[in-house]
Amino acid sequence: MSDLAELYAKLQASETCKSLLKKHLTQERYEELKDKKTSFGGTLADCIRSGCENLDSGVGIYACDPEGYTVFAPVLDAVIKDYHKVDKLDHPPSDFGVDKIDFGDLDPEGQLIVSTRVRVGRSHASFGFPPVLKKEDRLAMEKVTVEALNTLEGELKGTYYPLTGMSKETQKQLTDDHFLFNDSDRFLRAAGGYNDWPTGRGIFHTPDKKFLVWVNEEDHLRFISMQMGGNLKEVYVRLVKAIQTLEKKLTFAKREGLGYLTFCPSNLGTTLRASVHIKIPKLSQTPDFKAFCDKYNIQARGIHGEHTESVGGVYDISNKRRLGLTEFQAIQEMRRGVEAVIAEEKKLSGK
């Protein structure tokens, strides 16, 4: 318990910390939750360690395991509402809406969109998150995951490359392709994200690299579908097919009102992030660019991820909302936003 008390004292003592953890872990909530434990052995200390050790965190709290979202709901629910800007946690049932798709290639002339990607995070219901996992848990999780991935057929059939014992050539190739994840995030490290590195971790991908799965990076699983050009329909349908096939073999963690659960409360609900890398040299230089994106519930970032600069007028444009709407609504929101961005860029270019 002294560990938790020390962490909380450090958080309380900081006058510069602006995290959602600091804002919502009141003394009253702390007293209510400090002695609670999940059946996975997860504690409040496991949830808040990273945010107390990194006082410059934005969110500052992770879930110790899927059950943590229920056991530590008083603080996690408050953080989730604040982060996702929702008044209540009533995430609708999953609906991929594949039979309702009314879009195809968003840039048929291939003038602006460089590539398209859709990804989701998933967690095994029967395993905890990084703070409570032991080495044998990671290995067991890797085993059941790989067995399920090996049942994929057709365009989804691929190969699993474990990080343990990976050859330098494979490592270099995957890094060059921007597929390989690393162990360099201090926020994740403090939350136990890199314990037993690289055991139990790896990457599965198809020969054409249009579908890949990260195993035990930050989340248990991350499914990614991508390809060059702007054909959002192809990318989305491929991802949905993979999710629905794997759901027959694996049980994913969910909570009513929150949808799919992942390690970080910033990524819940659909957990879906659909994005394009798009050349918008004109629109991106206008003073109202951010307001334009906000109007369509999309966000623009540099192509190397959050907080990075654009390269050559190319931006990563994605849907902003993941919680409180269905997968189909999220993909439609991104699609409408991207179409508006294309129309505006063409207008500014006098086309």
Residue 306 annotated as binding site: yes
Cα distance between residue 198 and residue 336, in whole Å:
40
**Which tokens sit at 310?**
């654009």
Domains, in order of start, for the chain: 3-84 (1.10.135.10), 98-349 (3.30.590.10)
Residue 117 annotated as binding site: yes
Band (305; pLDDT cuts 50, 70, 90): low
Residue 303 annotated as binding site: yes
Task: Say if residue 308's pLDDT is above 70.
Answer: no
Residue 59 annotated as binding site: no
- Which strands, in side-by-side order, build the sheet including 221-228? 159-162, 202-205, 211-215, 221-228, 113-122, 273-279, 314-319, 298-301
Q: Pseudo-torsion of CA 113, 206, 273, 75, nearest 10°?
A: -160
Band (1; pLDDT cuts 50, 70, 90): very low
Residue 278 annotated as binding site: no
Residue 205 annotated as binding site: no
Q: Are 67 and 124 in contact (CB under 8 A)?
A: no
Residue 115 annotated as binding site: yes
- In this structure, of 5-14, 95-104, 210-219, 311-320, the range with the lowest mean pLDDT score is 311-320
**Which tokens sit at 307?**
């907080």
Residue 274 annotated as binding site: yes
Residue 138 annotated as binding site: no
- In this structure, of 76-90, 182-196, 260-274, 303-317, the range with the lowest mean pLDDT score is 303-317
Task: Say if residue 189's pLDDT is above 90.
Answer: yes
Residue 317 annotated as binding site: no
**Which tokens sit at 155?**
């365009």
Angle CA 125–128–134, to nearest 5: 135
Residue 305 annotated as binding site: yes
Residue 24 annotated as binding site: no
Buried b (16+ CB within 10 A) or exposed e, 65-92: bbbbbebbbbbbbbbbbebbebeebebe
Residue 122 annotated as binding site: no
